[in-house]
Amino acid sequence: MSHDLDEKLARVVQEIERIEKTRTRFGAVMRQVKQDIDISRFPAAAEGIATPEFVKRIDPVPLKGLTIAGIDGGLVRREFHSVDLVITRGVAVIFRFGFKDGPVVDFFPDPFPVPNVGYDTKPLSAIESEQMATLERVSTELRVALSVLEKFHTNIILMDGSLFFHPRDRPSSSSEAYEKFQEVLALYRQLYTKASKSECTLVGVVKDSRSTRVVNLLGDILPHLLRDPEMFELMRDIDYRGLLRHSRDCDILDTFLDEGERTIVFRYATELTQSHNALDDLLTWASSIWVTYIKTARDDLPLRVEVLARDDPSSIEVVDRTLAALLPLSSHHPEYGVPAPIVEADTRARITNREAQFVLDRLVVLAGPHYRPLEKRRSRNPFGG
Amino acid sequence: MNTENAGSQRLGTVICEDNSPNVMEFSFVVEGGPDDIVARRGQFVGVSTDAGVVIARVQDLVRRNRYYQQVEAVREYQSKGEPLRAIFPTDRWQITVAQARVVGLWANGQRLKPYFAVSPGAVVRSVDEDVLAAFLHLDMENGLALGTLDHNQVVFKPSLSRLLSKHMAILAMSGAGKSYFVSVLLEELLSRTREQGRIGVVLIDVHGEYSYLKSVTPADLGLKGDCFEVEHVRGSHFQIPVQSLSADAIGAFVADMSSVQVRDLRRVVSEIRKTSPEGYTLKSLVDRIESDDHIRGNTREALASWLVSLDETGLFGIEAAPDLRSMVRPGKLTIVDLSDFISLKKKQIIVAYLARELLYLRRQGKVPPFLMILEEAHQFCPESRYELALPRPQIETIAREGRKFFALLCLISQRPVKLSTTVLSQCSNQVILRTTNPYDLDHIGRSSEGIDRGALDAITTLEVGEALFVGEVVSVPTFVKIRRRKIEPQGVGSDLLEALKAADRA
């Protein structure tokens, strides 16, 4: 048994070593050529990309005088036989940078808001239940963002996660969750409209993006670049196609992006078109969301950053200005390049098991002695596990 | 819910931890902002319950902040030279958790042993002044106002009876405020009215620290009339009447007189008392011994030698000075100033004589109840070197038997470890000021029943002028800030630099 396992693990190790070696060699080549890549030379591949340069250095700006909010939501789901509970909490932290030692911070609605409790008594499928819970969390976050836009004068609002719903969260029109989905879409529209009318820049910070937009771009342009004999020589014996096939944007960009560098800036809509599941009325807004990756910390993966900006030539300036403010917020820890307001919001929004248990205990107390919320069998195995 | 204490300041909320709240301990999260100091170590706090107010004392305060829990993260975030506060609102995560030890349950005006745990979520408040005073057995009407409770704005007024009736020891390292505390105690004792009950005080002042009190008047203490009296007796003016001393009493002044020598001396003393009823001196006694043929040569020489040696102290004569009966009176302070003497033996002879005679007179009812305050007590009744401690048997006798007759002791020492264990164990009350010597601390811990490890540790951190009261005077060991004295000694400098400058000017 242990001999078999070791053999299998050894094969995995071999594969990892091979990929890492390829990745390192690929990164070394890309470091040499990244500044020379001109995307505008490849019109077919560059559709939806607003910048000709493949990478660009961003200079951080002082934060004095800026007000930057971070918004995050927490979610805990508890499934019972009679009712599914969704406990969510949305919180905004508003950092005002002055001349003092550190930011002055306000919280909305409170430093530690009481969680919202949603429930569903209809028998949902596992996927629907998952979608319902996520939509509940997203709607909580969007409502907090709308309130912040109304009640605070902020320069930038950082949302933890994408500015657009994920295709996986879109239920079918016959689903019990569809109504909730419509509600979330309405909130998105309100947020985009309100943000675009204000002077505040709405930003989505995606910590662990699974997107492959840049990887695909590289897959498209590298064969052209390799026509250059010098480049061909550099890339010889590197299985870049295999590498790109198995990599996500963040993984591949981590091999050659330096701290303070961003990649191309592209429209969110170009990704939606590829997945064919966007709603037409939101496509307009998706065209105003600009996406880029920026390396904020030396030893951390690049961050995917989405910025809502007007669909005009000034939009890239807005993106770069936003990134210039994002850098000093994110570059304090060499291995964790997440902006401080997001870190703070994440901590405050998180719902601990103890808190969730408190809600459940309270539910039982209020429901009286006859009510016993029976957890799913897998959760109450008498032998644990 | 018991409504006692409900109006006090809200301090926090009881929380759950691994083993608390339990009957004897609980923790509470302290209210207020990150820079507010709402609860303090040593402070008494209360939790109102249906059964009464659970009273506890804050043992320790722990500050928590999730931003500083991961040391690696702190190091990395601060590696660029900026403090973590410059990046995150770290101050908003600061939480103070107070750990409190239950000292009792106050219910229906009585102190009970705690028998249940307070509930998590219960509100913790400061303790009402009245409740705390009653709980600690303070006497707010007739007690001695010695200071204020540490961190609770309650005047510490122990009852005179509880404080003094079973002897008291004042223990501290040098410079911790022993003499200052004694001054405050004396001010309070002198300020008492006849209705409150007054005690005669005999103060053995080894270093002349209290001689400034000889000129104090009632007006200095804000009193009217001649309600107290202070007599200052210089050691050099002290005279012990030889005819009042039995052979055993004289023998007690000599460390190693044998029983044969005492027997012979007893006979000689008996004879001279008959022939010289008007009194005699040690010189007369020596003459009588030298002319007595019944005493063997060696014994005669030894006795004569010892008596000559005693006579050379100049402490003995025919008349008693001062008169011990007039020395002890209600409301009177007699300061026996021994600072004239360098010889420890002379000091010991006077203390031994006073201790024996005062107890005797009190037993006979010839003097009122008195308090004998003994500075540098370890010099007079040490634990070891018995042969060099002439007054020790007399002091031990008062310690053992004196309280039955209200012949009371107040022993002061900076070396508790060197003080007779017999005497120390008879002192039901101890006032402990700052002490850092580990041997002394250990000795205090072993000789004090009411003192726990936490209180013992706190003794090392006491400020000058802070004291821990342990014993029958209070229901639980209590930290007290000693009040300022009303009369400051004039011309007594405690600062070396000032003394040097004054010397230079002269």
State the CATH number of the domain containing residue B194: 3.40.50.300
| Contact assignment for B73 to A332 by CB distance below 8 Å | no
- What pLDDT score does B500 carry? 82
What does the pLDDT look like over B241-266, one tens digit per residue?
998 888 888 888 887 788 888 898 99
pLDDT of residue A378: 59
Work out the mean pLDDT of chain B and round it to a whole number: 89
Closest in A111, A332, A344 to B77, CB measured: A332
- A33 found inside a domain: no
Same domain membership, residue B282 and residue B393: no
Q: Clarify whether residues B332 and B308 are in a common domain.
A: no
- Residue A223 is predicted with a pLDDT of 92
Q: Examine residue B494 and state whether it is found in any structural domain, yes or no.
A: no
- pLDDT attached to residue B422: 84
pLDDT band at B49 (very low <50, low <70, confident <90, very high): very high
The residues, any chain, with a CB within 8 Å of residue B460's CB and separated by 6 or more, are: B434, B435, B436, B441
Distance from CA of B54 to the nearest CA of A (A): 27
Does A59 fall in a domain?
Answer: yes
Domain membership of residue A113 (yes or no) is: yes
pLDDT digits (tens, 9 = 90+) for B163-176: 998 999 999 988 88
**Any CB–CB contact under 8 A between A123 and chain B?**
no
In a shared domain, residues B62 and B168: no
CB contact under 8 A, A111 and B92: yes
CB contact under 8 A, B83 and A343: no
Residues B426 and B474 in one domain: yes
Is B353 in the same domain as B308?
Answer: no
Whether A276 shows a pLDDT value over 60: the answer reads no
Confidence of residue A104 (pLDDT cuts 50, 70, 90): very high
Those residues with Cβ within 8 angstroms of residue B54's Cβ, 6 or more apart along the chain or in another chain: B46, B47, B102, B104, B105, B106, B114, B118
Question: For tokens 């307001």, what's the residue?
Answer: A341
- At residue A369, the pLDDT reads 67
Question: Residue B87 is nearest to which of A93, A340, A347, comparing CB atoms?
Answer: A340
Q: Are residues B375 and B414 in the same domain?
A: yes
Residue B1 has pLDDT above 60, yes or no: no
* B64 in A contact zone (CB under 8 Å): no
- Is the residue at B182 inside a domain? yes
Q: B52-64 and B168-171: which strand pairing?
A: unpaired
φ, ψ dihedrals at B490, nearest 5°? -90, 145
User: Which of A333, A342, A348, A358 is the best residue to mutate to test the B interface, defined by the most B CB atoms within 10 Å of its own CB?
Assistant: A333
pLDDT tens per residue across span A162-182: 999 988 888 888 888 899 999
Residues of A in contact with B83 (CB under 8 A): 101-102
How many Cα atoms sit within 13 Å of B272 on the Cβ side? Answer: 25
Strand partners, A88: A75, A116
Interval B45-51 mean pLDDT: 95
Question: What average pLDDT does range A133-159 have in this prediction?
Answer: 96
pLDDT (0 to 100) of residue B374: 96
- In this predicted structure, what is the pLDDT of residue B2? 56
On the question of pLDDT at A310 being above 90, the answer is no
CB pair distance less than 8 Å for B82 and A347 = no
Q: Is the pLDDT of residue B155 over 70?
A: yes
Q: Which residues of B touch A344 (CB under 8 A)?
A: 88-89
More confident residue, B494 or A358: A358
Reply yes or no on whether the pLDDT at A1 is more than 60: no
List, as own/partner pairs, every contact residues B254-262 make where C-beta atoms lie below 8 angstroms and the sequence separation is at least 24, other chains included: B254/B306, B254/B309, B254/B310, B255/B387, B255/B388, B255/B390, B256/B387, B257/B306, B260/B299, B261/B299, B261/B302, B261/B303
Confidence of residue B369 (pLDDT cuts 50, 70, 90): very high
CB pair distance less than 8 Å for A102 and B88: yes
Q: What pLDDT is recorded for position A9?
A: 92
Mean pLDDT in residue range A198-226: 93
Residues B422-477 pLDDT 10s: 888 889 999 999 988 888 888 888 777 777 777 788 888 888 889 999 999 998 88
pLDDT the model gives residue B8: 82
On whether both B363 and B332 belong to a single domain, the answer is yes
Model pLDDT, residue A2: 67
Please tell me which of the candidates A333, A340, A347 has its beta carbon nearest to residue B73.
A333
pLDDT at residue B57, as a whole number: 93
Q: End of a domain among B317, B339, B360? A: B317
What average pLDDT does range A243-263 have in this prediction? 94
* Residue scoring higher pLDDT (A3 or A134): A134
Out of A229-243, B119-133, B480-494, which region has the weakest mean confidence (pLDDT)? Answer: B480-494
Is residue A31 domain-resident?
no
Contact state of B88 with A340 under an 8 Å Cβ cutoff: yes
Q: Is B75 on the interface with A (CB under 8 A)?
A: no
More confident residue, B404 or A126: B404
Q: What is residue A99's predicted lDDT score, i.e. its pLDDT?
A: 74
Query: Is position B496 within any domain?
Result: no
Does the beta carbon of A343 lie under 8 angstroms from any beta carbon of chain B? yes
Q: Which two tokens stand for residue B201?
A: 């005080």
Contact B423, B461 (CB under 8 A): no
Residues B358 and B472 occupy one common structural domain: yes
Domains held by chain B: number: 3
| A94: contact with B, CB 8 A cutoff | no
pLDDT at B99: 95
B2 vs B120: which has the higher pLDDT: B120
Query: What percent of chain A clears pLDDT 70, i.e. is strictly above it?
Result: 93
Is A9 within a domain?
no
| Co-location of B231 and B372 in the same domain | yes
**Alpha-carbon torsion, ordered B248, B251, B255, B256, to 10 deg:** -90
Closest CA to A362 of A89, A117, A110, A75: A117
Q: Taking CA atoms, what residue in B is nearest to A96? A: B89
Domain with A58 in it = 38-211+248-385
Are B262 and B335 part of one and the same domain? Answer: no
The 10 Å Cβ neighbour count of residue A31 is 14
Same domain assignment for residues B70 and B187? no
Q: Taking CA atoms, what residue in B is nearest to A348? A: B93
Q: Does residue B423 fall inside a structural domain?
A: yes
Domain that holds residue B52: 10-135
Contacts of A111 in chain B (CB under 8 A): 92
- Predicted pLDDT at B137: 92
Strands B200-205, A156-160: pairing is unpaired
Percentage helix, strand, coil, to 5, in chain A?
45, 20, 35
Identify which has the larger pLDDT, A356 or A305.
A305
Inside any domain, residue B262:
yes
Domain ends where: B273, B290, B317? B317
The pLDDT assigned to A205 comes to 97
Domain-embedded: residue B105: yes
Q: Can you tell me the mean pLDDT for A206-234?
A: 92
Mean pLDDT of B126-131: 91
**A217: in domain:** no
Residue A249 has pLDDT above 70, yes or no: yes
A347 and chain B in contact, CB less than 8 A: yes
Q: Is residue A12 part of a domain?
A: no
Return the residue of A nearest to B82 by Cα. Answer: A332
The predicted pLDDT at position B398 comes to: 94
- Would you say residue A355 has pLDDT above 60? yes
User: Does A260 lie at the interface with B, CB-CB under 8 angstroms?
Assistant: no
Interface touch B80/A95, C-beta < 8 Å: no
Kindly tell me if the per-residue pLDDT of B402 is higher than 60.
yes
B176, part of any domain: yes
A103 contacts B66? CB cut-off 8 A: no
**Total count of domains within chain A:** 1
pLDDT band at B107 (very low <50, low <70, confident <90, very high): very high
Confidence band for A213, pLDDT divided at 50, 70 and 90: very high
Does A335 lie at the interface with B, CB-CB under 8 angstroms? yes
> Does the residue B150 lie in any domain?
no
Residue B494 sits at the chain A interface (C-beta within 8 Å): no
| B68 and B178, same domain (yes or no) | no
Query: Is B89 in contact with A93 (Cβ distance < 8 A)?
Result: yes
Residue A221 inside a domain? The answer is: no
Note whether A110 contacts B: Cβ–Cβ < 8 A: no
Tally C-beta pairs within 8 A across A and B: 36
